[in-house]
Structure 1
Amino acid sequence: MTTLGFLYPGHHVAEDDFPRMEILLDAVRLVVNHTDVDEDAYTIDALTRTGAPECLAAGVAELQRAGVESVVWASSAGGFLYGWEGAHQQIAALARVAGVPASSTSFGFVHAVRELEAARVAVAATYPEPIAAQFTAFLRSAGIEVAATSAAGLASAAEAAAWDLDKVKELATAADRPEAEVVLLPDTALHTVSHVTELEELLGKPVLTGNQVTVREGLRLADRRSWSPRLGKIFAEREAPPAPVSRWGEGRERAHSGRKGRPGKQPHIGW
C-alpha cells in the first residue's frame, strides 16, 4: 500500500474528489490534511497567503504520523502565484519540513503535460483574469505554449465548488482551441474527478484537472504508478498488454520464424 499526503487549503470545497480517486486507484491511500485559510477569496494577496511557509509547515505533522511517502501542496494558485523560482523554493521548504519528497499542483500540471508529450495547451480557469494570466506565465516558464486562456472570474473557492458538470463543460469548451493538444482546468476547488472522461469525450483530447494531477504528482514523487482509465488519459496505460496468442496463432509464428519456443513479449512502456 502506497500512502500519499496532501495539504489541501480550507474545507468544504472539492476535497471529496480524493476519496473518489482512492477508490479508483489500486493499493493507494490518499491522506488529506486541511490547511487554514484566513479568507476565501480569489485575490492575489489571499491566495498567496495560503501558500506561506508557516501555513504549509503547520499541516505536515499529521501527514508524517500517517507515514506518507510524499507530500503535495494541493493548491494551484497557492503555488504558481509565487512564480517559477518562488514555487520551487516553496516546495523545497516543504520537503525539508516533511522529510519526504514534496511538490505542488502547479508542478503537477507541468509534469503531466510533459508526460502527455504535449507542446501546446489551453487553460480553462475559474479565476479572475489577472490570476489566470499568472498561471499562463508559469506554464510558459516551463516551456509550455498556451494557445488560449479563459478566465471565468469567480470570486472564491466556494463558488467554484458549487459548479455542476454543465458549468464545467462550458468553461472547458470556451477555453479549447483546435491547436491545443490538452485542456487544463487548474482549480482544485472544482469538482472534476467524476467528469474527466466525459470532458475528454466532449473535447476529443486529454483533459488535466487540479485534483487529478495533484494525485498523479504524489504518485510520481513516490515512484509509484497506478492506472485507472476513469481518471482520464493521464492515468491510462500508454500501451495495452499484448493480446494472448492462441495455440494456432502461436504455431504459425513458430513455423514462420523457424524458432523454437514461445515468441518473446514486447516490452511494456511505462513512464
Structure 2
Amino acid sequence: MTSLGILYPGHAAEDDYPRIEQLLGSDVRLTVVHTDTAEDAHRVDALLDLGSAPRLAAGVEELRLSGAEAVLWASAGGSFVHGAQGAHEQVRALAMAAGVPASSTSFAFAHAAREIGARRVAIGSACPDDVVALFAEFLKETGTEAVAVRGSAAVTAAEPAGWDYDGVLALARAADHPDADAVLLPDTALHTAAHLTELEKDLAKPVLTASQVTVWEALRLTDRRVNAPRLGSLFTREPVIQA
C-alpha cells in the first residue's frame, strides 16, 4: 500500500481524489486534509495568504500521522503566486514539517509537462488574466513555454466547482492553440477526473489537469508508476527523455 497525503484548500472539487483513487485500480490510498481559507477569491493577495506557512502547517501533522509517504499542496494558485523560488521554499518547509517528500500542484504541472514531452503548452484557467499570467511566468521559470493563456471571469473557487463537462471543455477549447503540445487546466476547483479521456479525445492532444497531476506527482515522489488509461496520457505514456 502506498499512502499519499493531499493538502486541499477549502472545499470545491475534493471529490476528484477518491474518484482518482478508484481509477488507479491499485494499492494507493489518498488521504485528503483540508486547509483553512480566509477568503475564497481569485486575487493575488488572497492566494498568497492561502498558501502561507501557518495555513499549511495546520494540516501537515494530520497527514504525517496518517502515514503519508509524500505530501502534496493541492493548490496551483496558492503556490505559483509566490514565484518559482517562493514555491520551492514553500514545499521545502512542507517536507521538513511532514518528514517526507513534498511538492505542490504548480511543480506537478511543470514535471508532468516534461514527462510527456510538452515543451509548449496552452493554459486555460478559471482565474482572471492577471493571476493566470503568473502561472505562465512560473512555467517559464521551470522550463515550459506557454504559447496561449486564457483566463476567466470566475472570482471564486466555488464557481468553477459547479461547471459540468461542457463548461470544462469550453475552457479547454478556448485556451487551445495549434502550437501547443498539451493543454493545461490548473484549477484544483475544477472537476476533471471523470473527463480526462473525453477531453483528450475532443482536443486531440494531451490534457493535464490539477487533480490528475497532483496525484501523479505524489506517486512520482514515492517512485511509483501506475498505468491508468482512464486518467489520460500522463498515466499511460512512457516518460520522454529530453536533451
Residue type at the aligned position of 2:85: E
- Greater Cα radius of gyration, structure 1 or 2: 1
- Give the distance between the partners of 1:42 and 1:238, measured in 2 at CA: 35
Query: Which portions of structure 1, spanning 4 or more consecutive aligned residues, are displaced by more than 3 angstroms?
Result: none
Alignment of 1:14-33 (within 5 A): 14-25=13-24, 26-33=26-33
Q: How many residue pairs were aligned?
A: 240
**Structure 1 length normalisation: TM-score?**
0.87
- Structure 2, unmatched stretches of 5+, are none
TM-superposed CA distance for 1:237, in Å, is 4.1
Alignment of 1:1-271 (within 5 A): 1-11=1-11, 13-25=12-24, 26-238=26-238
Higher relative contact order (CA 8 A, sep 6+): 2
**Could you give the per-residue CA deviations for residues 172-226 of structure 1, whole angstroms, max 9, x where no partner exists?**
0011011100000000000000011100000100000000000001001111111
**Structure 2 length normalisation: TM-score?**
0.97
**Could you give the per-residue CA deviations for residues 29-84 of structure 1, whole angstroms, max 9, x where no partner exists?**
00000000011111111111110011111101111111000000000000000001
Q: Cα RMSD over matched residues?
A: 1.3
- Give the distance between the partners of 2:227 and 2:174, measured in 1 at CA: 29
Contact kept, 8 Å, 2:31 with 2:63, in 1: the verdict is yes
Residue type at the aligned position of 2:17: F
Contact kept, 8 Å, 2:61 with 2:97, in 1: the verdict is no
TM-superposed CA distance for 1:153, in Å, is 2.1
Contact kept, 8 Å, 2:110 with 2:143, in 1: the verdict is no
- Give the distance between the partners of 1:195 and 1:35, measured in 2 at CA: 26
Where 1:78 maps in the other structure, the secondary structure is: helix
Correspondence for 1:256: none
Where 1:191 maps in the other structure, the secondary structure is: coil
Residue type at the aligned position of 1:48: L
- Give the distance between the partners of 1:65 and 1:150, measured in 2 at CA: 40
TM-superposed CA distance for 1:145, in Å, is 1.1
- Give the distance between the partners of 1:61 and 1:84, measured in 2 at CA: 25
Where 1:226 maps in the other structure, the secondary structure is: coil
- Give the distance between the partners of 1:30 and 1:195, measured in 2 at CA: 20
- Give the distance between the partners of 1:104 and 1:238, measured in 2 at CA: 22
- Give the distance between the partners of 1:3 and 1:227, measured in 2 at CA: 17
- Give the distance between the partners of 1:48 and 1:182, measured in 2 at CA: 27
Q: Kindly, what percent of the aligned residue pairs are identical? A: 56
Residue type at the aligned position of 1:129: D
TM-superposed CA distance for 1:24, in Å, is 1.1
Where 1:224 maps in the other structure, the secondary structure is: coil
